[in-house]
Copies of this chain bind each other. A is one copy, B any other.
Amino acid sequence: MNQDLDAAMRAWFLGPHAENAGLLERMVTEALRDHVFWRRNYHPEDGFTISEAEKRSDGYDAAVATLTQELLGLLAELKQGVPFFSGRYKGHMTYEQTIASQVGYFAAMLFNPNNVAIEGSPVTTRIELAVARQLAEMMGYQGDTSWGHLTSGGTVANLQSIWVARNLLYFPLAAYGAAGSLGVSLDVECPGGGTAPLRSLELCELLNITNTAVLDLRDRLWAAAEPADVRRALAEHSLQSQGYQEYHRRVAAKFTDPLPAGVVIVSATAHYSWEKIVRALGIGSNQLVYVPVDDHFRIDSGALWDTISSLHERKTPILACVTVNGTTEESAVDRLDEVVDVRRRAEAELGMAFHLHSDAAYGGYATAVTWAAEGARRRTGAEVRAETGLDWPSDAWMRSMEAQAQADSITVDPHKLGYIPYPAGAFLLKDKRARALVSIDPPYLTPADGTEDGDDLFLGKYIFEGSKPGAAAAAVWMSHKVLPLDQRGYGHLVARTVQGARLLYAALEDAEPAPFRVVLLPRPDINIVCYIVTHESIGTLAEINALNEGIYARMSLNTPGAHPEYIITRTRFLTPMYDGAVDPLLRALDVPVDDWKAADSDGLVVLRSTVMDPFLGAGAGADHASGLVGALFRAADAALADVHPGRAVPPNVHPGEAAG
């Protein structure tokens, strides 16, 4: 890979031993002093509010003493924290942040901008819209017709996707009622092709209009009567104003067939926040329909088709279908290209339409790999593989990433693979018009001019959250400037982490830890390596889980007093979500599938190492792949004693021990 980019990468982070301490301190001091002198220059004729003489008072001095003492106390506490920055940390999806984002955050924080509205953030609101556009374009959206903004994280972004999707789903029904009240007639495009008068549609047809057709219908409705009348008529018929309880009653009265509960289809590996969201939004967790994943932990598109067909038979409307780009546990990338094909087929063959959301909270930034410098064009898989020297990414992976552009909305978290400080999630909409379906008009905070451009700058109108840090936008902006969203920046960074994950994978594969044995999940789609340790003396699922829990306890900071050499984490695969996908693992572990499916099953404990450290792949610094493997088997030795208490286990010498 490009050596100049590796050299640049060394300037992107503070470094495992704070090698760039001088650089970061210079940047932070520059930002602070620049701010200080801005204040000095703002109406200097106002004089000083805090005089040098007053600073010599006892009260002032006591306050400074308290501040200093408490800071020392906090700094001492913080040292009990997790060394995310070290190559020895291979656990969750957390590393250190880019220097650019740290400095951007700090510099803007001093100004205290609130991105809820332009009035509180004339600079950072524009910056937020700019970075959202950069992200949208990276995902393949058109900059002019798409829209996005930052959120506190993936959960709020995912909430917005379902909020928007629900309003899109039910809009034709509201328009049906509103058009009736207004005495206007409207046509609408049907998913199978052709147009039909809105009034001629059955309930289940009204709930199966494509998003584009819904938004076109909305445009036509607003053009067909006075805005105030349309607003009133829509409010009379919309779920947003009626609420589910009243809405359901009315629809049941108007249409002979009752309104089936809308469902959200998700990949079985979907993040647990989806359950929170459907519960909070009143959709209900029973309406979360899990689609099985294949043994690469990607959504099974055949099973997706079967799911959709069966929903079609039951006339169940689909609120949204959620695919995952970078699962939290395995970094698996759903084959969105295949899902898009399934959707196309569902529209053509079944007349079914639905909102497609890509939860790319983790994997979104990996899309940077697909872009040539300046975002000028997509690269081919062969080009990328030639550069990385790896058998990654596959052509199928490239197609999955390019298919992101077909999703109606996307969640992508700068605070994950963007290496940006919390809080920085992002929500992106393919068709900007859809944001109007969740907009609101607060009495204050509207810009003076009231123009469309002014509206654009008043984020609080279109988003779920209110007050939000402009500093987060500045952090993302700075980071995108220093690390472009293409092969020169994030593309290089993410590729290096994939390479690091492959090195760790190979080290685990090559280990000869008999009488222990390592069962690995397939090579990850991005950079999370998952593995299970077993031992010749144990055979049941419960014992294997106990062993791996024991290893985890010895390689985690969670255990009181622990000083692990290396830090990993673990997850737990559960039935029925992982049914099928774990079969190869169970076979490799010699565990009967019945154990997995037993009523008292605790699932399968899987050890998990996220490789966000780009230096491992670049061959810079200590060989932490071998180091981790050595530490793993030392921990396994110790943990085995817990599984078989009283049985002495001879210590083994394992590969990589020297590096521990």
A-B interface, 4 closest residue pairs, ranked by CB to CB distance from nearest: A243-B284, A7-B59, A282-B282, A49-B621
CB contact between A11 and one of B19, B60, B94, B105 (< 8 Å): that residue: B60
* Closest residue on chain B to residue A416 by CB atoms: B467
Q: Does A571 lie at the interface of the complex (its beta carbon under 8 Å from any beta carbon of B)?
A: yes
Q: In whole angstroms, what is the CA distance A56 to B337 when docked?
A: 44
Residues of B within 8 A of A104 (CB): 71, 74
Q: In whole angstroms, what is the CA distance A64 to B159 when docked?
A: 38
- Do residues B244 and A284 form an inter-chain contact, with CB atoms below 8 A? yes
Q: Which of A25-80 contact B (CB under 8 A)?
A: 25, 27-40, 42-44, 46-51, 54-55, 57-60, 62-64, 66-68, 70-71, 73-75, 77-80
Q: Which of A176-184, A245-253, A370-378, A640-648 contacts B (4 or more CB under 8 A)?
A: A245-253
Once A17-B46, A17-B49 are accepted as A-B contacts, the answer to whether A91 and B111 lie under 8 Å apart by CB is no
Residues of B within 8 A of A556 (CB): 119, 448
- Do residues B46 and A621 form an inter-chain contact, with CB atoms below 8 A? yes
Q: In whole angstroms, what is the CA distance A39 to B152 when docked?
A: 28
Q: In whole angstroms, what is the CA distance A14 to B258 when docked?
A: 63
Residues of B within 8 A of A77 (CB): 123, 127
Copies in the complex: 2
Residues of B within 8 A of A249 (CB): 248, 258
Q: In whole angstroms, what is the CA distance A265 to B510 when docked?
A: 65
CB contact between A47 and one of B121, B470, B622 (< 8 Å): that residue: B622
* Closest residue on chain B to residue A558 by CB atoms: B448
CB contact between A38 and one of B79, B413, B468, B571 (< 8 Å): that residue: B79
Residues of B within 8 A of A478 (CB): 70-71, 74
A329 CB → nearest B CB, Å:
6
CB contact between A466 and one of B153, B246, B248, B260 (< 8 Å): that residue: B153
- Do residues A112 and B553 form an inter-chain contact, with CB atoms below 8 A? no
Q: Does A209 lie at the interface of the complex (its beta carbon under 8 Å from any beta carbon of B)?
A: no
For A236-279 the 0/1 string (1 means CB < 8 A from B) is 00011111111111000000001111100000000111011011
- Do residues A7 and B281 form an inter-chain contact, with CB atoms below 8 A? no
- Do residues B464 and A276 form an inter-chain contact, with CB atoms below 8 A? yes
CB contact between A248 and one of B17, B80, B244, B615 (< 8 Å): that residue: B244
Q: Which of A95-103, A132-140, A349-357, A391-399 contacts B (4 or more CB under 8 A)?
A: A95-103
Q: Does A107 lie at the interface of the complex (its beta carbon under 8 Å from any beta carbon of B)?
A: yes
Q: Which of A81-89, A498-506, A514-522, A533-541 contacts B (4 or more CB under 8 A)?
A: A81-89
A-B contact pairs, 25 of them (CB 8 A): A11-B63, A16-B49, A17-B47, A17-B49, A30-B71, A35-B75, A46-B87, A46-B88, A46-B624, A71-B107, A74-B477, A84-B111, A152-B152, A152-B468, A155-B464, A156-B465, A163-B280, A244-B248, A246-B287, A248-B249, A271-B466, A282-B282, A422-B471, A444-B608, A448-B558
Residues of B within 8 A of A558 (CB): 118-119, 122, 447-449
* Closest residue on chain B to residue A622 by CB atoms: B46
- Do residues A448 and B110 form an inter-chain contact, with CB atoms below 8 A? no
Q: Does A442 lie at the interface of the complex (its beta carbon under 8 Å from any beta carbon of B)?
A: yes
Residues of B within 8 A of A94 (CB): 112, 114, 120
Residues of B within 8 A of A603 (CB): 443
- Do residues B467 and A154 form an inter-chain contact, with CB atoms below 8 A? yes
For A11-23 the 0/1 string (1 means CB < 8 A from B) is 1101111111101
- Do residues A48 and B621 form an inter-chain contact, with CB atoms below 8 A? yes
Residues of B within 8 A of A245 (CB): 244, 248, 259-262, 284
